Structure 1
Amino acid sequence: MDWILVTEQLLNGLQFGLMLFLLAAGLTLVFGIMDMINLAHGSLYMVGAYLAASVAQASGSFTVGVLASLAGTAVLGMLLEMSLLRRLYERDHLSQVLSTFALILMANEGVRMVWGEQPLMLNTPAALSGPVELLPGLFYPAYRLLIIGVGLGVALLLYGLVTHTRIGMWVRAGASNRAMALAMGVPIGRLFTAVFGFGALLCALAGSLLGPLLAVQVGMGESILILAFVVIVIGGIGSIRGALVGALLVGLVDTASRTLLPALLRQVLAPETASSVGPALAGLLTYVLMAAVLFFKPQGLFPARG
């Protein structure tokens, strides 16, 4: 098999995994600290992509669109937490699932009312529209390299924030034992609002950066939300390190298998059979990976709870 194809798919998997990490990081903190199942997390990703596309079209600047998306979605997330979601913290998980599922439906209809049914276009910045030669014969899109760089930068920022700051200490304490953190004087209310707003900001960043690669359309958050939940289950609930490792594993397995598995099957099966069986098997491998991790480590690879 061509080494250039393999390298390109590994880079694509790295890029997709880092974007999954942006989604999963906020989701795992909300789940780990607040014990809150928020199915509407993917809706914030969708709203962030729509805001970025709208502002970028109006201003003519991709950067302005991304910044506006980050600010607007973070404010929306904090308002959502303060007005509605904090009322669900003491409810059981079934109530949380039903309530946040209702938010998904409301968000989808709200987007249809504001932006219509047709997908929006979010164009790649002109300066990053071409390829970059990484190795002799290996060309890779500059924009995807930017996504990889941003994802790695956010991962390092989160690592420093969680491990070397007072807020990070509160986050780790809340994820490990919320009752004890509250007893020790941690301002849980403000912490919850800040964490939810930061998670919404990361959703907007992922939606803005993936907008030029994927369609900005109604319901775009649901499919990627499923993968985000798979990531936090693999990595361990409440663990940023687990979210990063889980996202990279899921991104690499999902991307590489969808491209490389059909090619490998053509070596032993008829081309028609390989073309039909390959994508189906590739879609299952992510969930096989999750099942294997849970079989050996039921709490995930790096669980935050003791």
Structure 2
Amino acid sequence: MQSFIQRHPAWSLLIALAAAVLLWLIFAPWSAGLEEMLGRKRVFLNAVFGGITLGALYFLVASGFTLIFGLMRNVNLAHGSLYLLGGYLGFEISERTGSWLLAFPVVFIVVGLLGIVLQNQVFRRMEGEELRQTMVTIGLSVVIADLLLWAWGGQSYTIYSPDWLSGPMSLPVISSVNDEGEIRYLRYPAVRMAILFAAIVIGIGMWLVLNKTRLGMLVRAGVDDREMLAASGVRIQYVFLAVFAFGAGLAGIAGIVGGTFQSLSPGEDTRFLLASLVVVIVGGMGSIPGAAIGALIIGLSEQLGLVYAPTYSVVFTFLIMAAVLAFRPQGLLGQG
């Protein structure tokens, strides 16, 4: 990020100004004139926090994708299928055991093991052959989608959060001020705020592992020069197996989160695969902070677009991606 600021001071200033305006709109009381122009502040705040929490979900999916695609150069277009599989498994576990939390470690392990199989049996045999990887994983995603449709049918499923996370919580954000001067604060679903906090913790942990540990050093060295690292005696294949398993497990966890946020149904795998691609393109391949920023931008654009320009809300995402590709093809925080 520091190199981006040094190379692009104008863009950095523009982004900082946009962030400052957004923060002012969130925390400052709105005047009557501003409410006439933008509508009720409560609606705006719900859209903003909806975009932030949706961005947290996109980050969980895209962070696993950026590890596999951005760092390891493996084109895994079955990543969305891992998301949907994790969601369905999480639904079954939570329904049968009554424990929402238990679903997370079980799904992470099961989907991570499937990721190990994919890396060992598919990608290891096609290293450096992006076109073959693309075609094979498209075929795998179709097969997995049909198997999921056969097992769970075409209806929608919702994963219910535990009682201690049900209902809204009060946030220190002013949503309205009545004529008597009484201040009302925003109330927002507690489960979404808990998942946002968990996504932040996971993101910081991933960044620390990749940049401050020996494992992260081995991963980055293996990406830059696999042959040299293998010649030094490091079993780079085991390192990549662990990274692939972790990325697949994250996709499975994101499926549980998505099923709690919204619902699970056929077609969600394609939607979240496309969202992951857009987030990685905007943020930069292989960059965890880039994935976080890209997910936040895309989440906010979707939710604010649905409120203020519902007819064109889908277009905004692709306009952002096109602008990034035009002016910074490697992504906002990608390496040039």
TM class by shorter chain equals: 0.7 to 0.9
Q: Aligned letter for 2:154? A: E
* Aligned residue in 2 for 1:284: 315
Q: 1:35 aligns to what SS in structure 2?
A: coil
Say whether residues 1:156 and 2:194 are aligned partners. no
Alpha-carbon distance in structure 2 between the residues aligned to 1:298 and 1:83: 32
Contact residue 71 and residue 285 of structure 2 kept, 8 A: no
Alignment of 1:169-208 (within 5 A): 169-208=217-256
Superposition RMSD on alpha carbons, in Å? 1.8
Q: Which has more radius of gyration?
A: 2
Say whether residues 1:248 and 2:296 are aligned partners. yes
CA 1:12–1:185: 2 relative to 1, 3 Å:
farther
Alpha-carbon distance in structure 2 between the residues aligned to 1:293 and 1:121: 35
Displacement of 1:24 in angstroms is 1.2
Deviations along 1:206-231, one digit per CA (max 9) or x if unpaired, are 11112122222233211111011011
Alpha-carbon distance in structure 1 between the residues aligned to 2:301 and 2:221: 32
Q: Aligned letter for 1:255? A: Q
Say whether residues 1:100 and 2:137 are aligned partners. yes
CA 1:233–1:183: 2 relative to 1, 3 Å:
farther
Q: Aligned letter for 2:246? A: F
* Aligned residue in 2 for 1:67: 105
Contact residue 121 and residue 212 of structure 1 kept, 8 A: yes
Displacement of 1:173 in angstroms is 2.7
Contact residue 157 and residue 259 of structure 2 kept, 8 A: no
5+ unaligned residues in a row in structure 1: which ranges?
263-277
Alignment of 1:77-96 (within 5 A): 77-91=115-129, 93-96=130-133
Say whether residues 1:127 and 2:175 are aligned partners. no
* Aligned residue in 2 for 1:3: 41
Contact residue 38 and residue 96 of structure 1 kept, 8 A: yes
Number of residue pairs aligned between Structure 1 and Structure 2? 287
Q: 1:215 aligns to what SS in structure 2?
A: coil
Displacement of 1:113 in angstroms is 3.1
Say whether residues 1:20 and 2:58 are aligned partners. yes
Alpha-carbon distance in structure 2 between the residues aligned to 1:23 and 1:177: 27
Contact residue 29 and residue 175 of structure 1 kept, 8 A: no
* Aligned residue in 1 for 2:68: 30
Displacement of 1:185 in angstroms is 4.7
TM-score, structure 1 as length reference: 0.88
TM-score, structure 2 as length reference: 0.80
Give aligned-pair identity as a percent: 35
Say whether residues 1:50 and 2:88 are aligned partners. yes
